[in-house]
């Protein structure tokens, strides 16, 4: 007897159906650093306020969910992997036998 796995079964492992544990830890650390910077730095100037908000903005951007990928971190990892790995990709096509002999 076979069991059917629903298409959205992986979403039940994520928080709010979107974020995994690493995403929440990353965003929480960005919020924590931003809170500390807001307490330490004098936020009377716009430039200092932007600098204080940068950790939360950057981590928020990194965990931003997008279609066809999990989030921005996934796209950045894939781009780095693409540009640092082998750049010559061999395509055989659908009609190549890949070492198999056709005998009847």
Say if 60 falls within a structural domain: yes
- In whole angstroms, what separates CA 93 from the centre of its chain? 31
| Burial of 10 (C-beta count, 10 Å sphere; 0-12/13-18/19+) | exposed
Say if 47 falls within a structural domain: yes
Say if 97 falls within a structural domain: no
Q: Is residue 100's pLDDT more than 70? A: no
Average pLDDT, the chain: 82
Say if 42 falls within a structural domain: yes
Say if 20 falls within a structural domain: yes
Give the count of domains, the chain: 1
pLDDT at position 18, please?
78
Say if 62 falls within a structural domain: yes
The pTM for the full model equals 0.66
**Residue position matching structure tokens 């079964």:** 9
Distance (Å) of CA 3 to CA 6, 11, 40, 78: 10, 18, 56, 33
Confidence of residue 30 (pLDDT cuts 50, 70, 90): very high
Domain that holds residue 31: 14-84
Residue, of 7 and 63, whose pLDDT is higher: 63
Give residue-wise pLDDT tens across range 59-93. 999 998 888 778 899 899 988 998 898 777 677 66
């Amino acid at each position: 007897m076979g069991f059917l796995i629903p298409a959205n079964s992986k979403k039940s492992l994520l928080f709010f159906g979107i974020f995994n544990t690493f995403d929440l830890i990353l965003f929480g650390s960005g919020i924590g650093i931003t809170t500390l910077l807001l307490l330490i730095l004098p936020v009377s100037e716009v430039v200092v306020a932007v600098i204080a908000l940068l950790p939360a903005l950057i981590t928020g951007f990194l965990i931003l969910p997008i279609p066809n990928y999990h989030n921005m971190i996934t796209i950045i990892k894939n781009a780095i992997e693409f540009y640092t790995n082998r750049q010559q990709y061999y395509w055989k096509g659908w009609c190549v036998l890949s070492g198999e002999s056709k005998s009847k």
